[in-house]
A and B are shown apart, each in its own frame.
Chain A
Amino acid sequence: MEKKKIIEFKGIRKVFPGVVALKGFDLAIYEKEILGLVGENGAGKSTLMKIMTGNYQPDGGQFLLRGQPIVLGGSMEAIEHGIGMVFQEGSILPNLTVTENLFLCHEKEFSKGWFISESAMVAEARKALEENGLDINPTTLCGNLSPAQRQMVEITRLLWLSRLYRHENPILILDEPTTVLLEKEIKTLFEILNRIKEHATVILISHRLEEIIENSDRIVVLKDGDYVTEMPGKAADIFKIEQLMVGRDMVEGYYRRNEQVDPTDTVVLEVKDLAIESILEPISFTLHKGEILALVGLIGSGKEELVKCLGGSMQATQGSIYRNGKRISIKQPKHAIAHAIGYIPIDRRIEGLATDLDIADNINMLVYKKLKSRGFINKRKERDNANHWMGVVKVKATSHRMKCGNLSGGNQQKVVLGKWLSADAEILIVDHPTRGIDVGAKDEIYHHIRQLAKQGKSMIIMCDTLEEDIGLCNRMLILKDGKKVNEVSCPPDAKPAPTDIIESIV
């Protein structure tokens, strides 16, 4: 059956000062399909999305919606035309109820004279939620919902709005919808999306290619602002897509396995019976010089809290930590830093960087003492130190005075890494090193992790996927419900299969 085109881009072009974001390509999006849009950061995905939602105006070419050329002035106009976007961070107000969020700014649809009928709103909300198969009480505060439920409310809102504006086939854009979701919730999300597809178009952006392949009808690959190719979903090959996205071969071994080195026998960190009341039962383990230790477990397994105790942002209720054989006490992050333990957080923009400050400020912040001469910070030393570490971790930027907020996710991560290396951290706690980073930059981060291990740095990692954990680490600790359940060795030539590990995790 020939599907109808709902959106068509003809020679679409968008230029920003210094960079061509979209190079003028054609792309058609059809009714009733799930389209996966993939590409590295900077490939043009988000620019294209922002044109569709009216946040950007194209500089050239045509944007046809339902066969008609159109210019959208903003998200509200886009919604009136049946195009809605679910943002990565979500746009639900936690202090309002589900009903209030659903009909925000459209309360007058329920007005009787001067007043708004609360009961009519709740009834309509219940109906709308049920249509999408959601079991959510419309009178609960959104702040009490799980991230997954909030996302569903957002989707329901967009679908309801498109019906309000009488659109047969709404277009739903989802930007990295699964980053905040649990495994089970991801499954539910896609079940719902597949159902929505019966009468809508879903456009999916995600760094998790597995998801895209599994759930998209069609995958479009973008690179450097240009259309590369497209392929049917399901049958697509992940490695093929990655190659297309990056534009070069990645055959040298995923996770740079071939660069893995064996750790030395020197114990740099020993944890003895460390416990946190009602979260973590006494756990003991060691970390060797040059070792990459993966902590694996579900949310609630206690691994996040365990590393927080090592980084100093949380305190254990019992147990002890030994650094190079000497007992240490870590009550605050500064104590951990004093013992050369660095923490690379999961949320770079909130916990890892001062995004308003420049690269030099961020790289130098821990070592200002070393950059002084005659009592004052020396500008030249500051610049040299920043440039040195920018070079080591290969930050791509025009100058060390560039604002960190303007860097891509990968480059921001490298700045955070540079900051800790500059401070001579011997042990790095790396919380989801490749979260929200595109394939090419991921590989660079893997490379850095391997290099650091080779230089004798020790790392405790927690990754986005189990495959990444297995691929990167020398050894893994598996935690479940606050207990250590297993310890698995992962030498480069005999990595365990993910299926074997999963059994002990769940």
Chain B
Amino acid sequence: MQKDGIGKQPAIKRIKGRVAGLPAISYALGMLVLFIVIFAVGSATFLTRYNMLTIGNSAAILLAVAMGQVFAILTGGIDLSVGGIMSLVSVVLMKTLEPLGFWAYPLSLAVGIAAGFLNGLINSRFRIPSFITTLGSNGIFMSIAYMISIKPLSAPSSSFGVLDIVNGTTLGIRNIMLLGVLIFMLFFVIQRYTITGRNIMLLGSNEKMSWLSGVDIFKVRTIAFTLSGFGAALAGVMLASNLYSGYPTLGTVYILNSIASVVIGGTAMTGGAGGVLNTLVGVMVMSVINNGMNIIGIDVYAQQSFLGVLVIIAVAISFDRSKLSVIK
């Protein structure tokens, strides 16, 4: 009897072998369909119009932060400070709504953009790995939020009208969903149709070559993290407006959720592969799962471990490990 050589391959490789040649995004699409079917069968309320709107609502917020995160990851870095930025932005928004009215929005966004810019600057100029830079700055942003207000801040009732920018409806569609679509289009265009977007891909794919080809890698890296800050700021104002409040831990869960969305969508953690479109699908998967688990009544604490397992499986299936010589 001859030994079967295929039997030597790890299980993952065999699974991948069967669906080889499919782009990473198709795994995520498959997962999306699978979970929709599971939840639709498991619960009568999952496919209702009301529930779809709920999913859309939370997806729009996750989308904003993940759209930023994917740029950081495309350069081969990571942004662990999106949670801190969201929290800080939410507190700034609630604090300034009363005196500034509408202008609290641009101000809050500017704070998030500045925070991202700072990350980028520290990461590129001082050559500190983004993992460390943003791990540290996440704490700083949260601490500033605490310094502004240790207690949760609520929106003053006089400003409920202003919050309609996010909470209202236009032509029968919720504004938050329209914002989600606009944000997606904006980041999609930045990635695919601008030189900066292309340079971010180049940088993530091969930094040395990019430099030799005249790419200003400091600038590009800084822009990538600024975009990440911008995405987190958008998510921060959307979530705060939605909740009519802001507090210093508001964004914390979005650190894992944004990274998970990017990875489930099939963007390589090593950079240079994947992108905004992949992340859109990853966000949908995450939103459907988060919602579905609530609907079919999985214990809130058990949900966390299920999500953790899912992220690891998603990476196992979709992550392009051929680029890595060593898994760290």
Contacts and interface: CB of A to CB of B under 8 A. Distances in A.
A334 B3 contact: no
| Chain B: number of interface residues, binned into ranges | 20 to 34
B202 A71 contact: no
Interface stretch (B92-100, B166-174, B203-211, B227-235): B203-211
A355 B322 CA distance: 12
Given A71-B2, A369-B195, A377-B193, A357 B216 contact: no
A376 B194 contact: yes
Given A74-B8, A377-B193, A350 B209 contact: yes
Interface in A260-285: none
A100 B242 CA distance: 60
Given A376-B193, A377-B198, A357 B205 contact: yes
Nearest to A420: B213
Given A73-B8, A369-B195, A376-B193, A343 B202 contact: no
Interface stretch (A79-87, A360-368, A483-491, A492-500): A360-368
Contacts of A427: none
A333 B198 contact: no
A149 B210 CA distance: 33
A361 B202 contact: yes
B209 A354 contact: yes
A356 B273 contact: yes
Contact of A368 (B5, B198, B211, B273): B198
A333 B213 contact: yes
A98 B201 CA distance: 39
| Chain A: number of interface residues, binned into ranges | 20 to 34
A351 interface: yes
A315 interface: no
Given A74-B8, A313-B212, A333-B211, A353 B206 contact: yes
A407 to B, nearest CB: 15
B192 interface: yes
B209 A351 contact: yes
A221 interface: no
B21 to A, nearest CB: 8
B13 interface: no
A355 B206 contact: yes
Contacts of B2: 69, 71
Most buried by A among B202, B205, B213, B214: B213
Given A71-B2, A377-B193, A351 B212 contact: yes
Contacts of A334: 214-216
Given A71-B3, A73-B5, A353 B209 contact: yes
A356 B323 contact: yes
Interface string B94-115: 0000000000000000000000
Contacts of B205: 354-357
Interface in A45-74: 54, 57, 69, 71-74
B246 interface: no
Contacts of B213: 333, 337, 365-366, 419
Interface in B122-150: none
B266 interface: no
Nearest to A69: B2
B214 A337 contact: yes
Given A352-B209, A369-B195, A57 B216 contact: no
A315 to B, nearest CB: 14
Contacts of B192: 377
A409 interface: no
A377 B201 contact: no
Most buried by A among B192, B194, B201, B206: B206
Given A71-B3, A350-B209, A356-B205, A365 B216 contact: no
Nearest to B197: A377
Contacts of B216: 334
A345 B210 CA distance: 13
A45 to B, nearest CB: 21
A72 B8 CA distance: 10
Contacts of A372: 195
A357 B202 contact: yes
Contacts of A353: 206, 209
A311 interface: yes
Contacts of A352: 209, 212
A365 B202 contact: yes
B323 to A, nearest CB: 7
Interface in A412-452: 419
B115 to A, nearest CB: 28
Contacts of A343: 212
B56 interface: no
A350 B5 contact: no
Contacts of A376: 189, 193-194
Contacts of B5: 54, 57, 71-73
B272 interface: yes
A243 B196 CA distance: 48
Nearest to A76: B8
A112 B24 CA distance: 49
Contacts of B214: 332-334, 337-338, 366
Contacts of A355: 205-206
Contacts of A345: 212
Nearest to B208: A351
B17 to A, nearest CB: 12
Interface string B13-44: 00000000000000000000000000000000
A486 to B, nearest CB: 30
B46 to A, nearest CB: 38
Given A354-B272, A355-B206, A311 B212 contact: yes
Contact of B212 (A57, A74, A333): A333
A354 B212 contact: no
A333 B216 CA distance: 10
B195 A368 contact: yes
B194 A377 contact: yes
A365 B195 CA distance: 9
A345 B211 CA distance: 13
Interface string A323-357: 00000000011100110000101000011111111
Contacts of A368: 195, 198
Interface string A175-210: 000000000000000000000000000000000000
Interface of A: 54, 57, 69, 71-74, 311, 313, 332-334, 337-338, 343, 345, 350-357, 361, 365-366, 368-369, 372, 376-377, 419
21 contacts: A54-B5, A57-B5, A71-B2, A71-B5, A73-B5, A332-B214, A334-B215, A350-B209, A351-B209, A352-B209, A354-B205, A355-B206, A356-B272, A357-B201, A361-B202, A365-B215, A366-B214, A372-B195, A376-B189, A376-B193, A419-B213
Going nearest first, the 9 A-B pairs with the smallest beta carbon separation are A334-B214, A354-B205, A376-B193, A337-B214, A57-B5, A73-B8, A354-B206, A368-B195, A377-B193
Given A355-B205, A365-B202, 9 more contacts: A73-B3, A333-B212, A337-B214, A354-B206, A354-B272, A356-B272, A357-B202, A368-B195, A377-B194
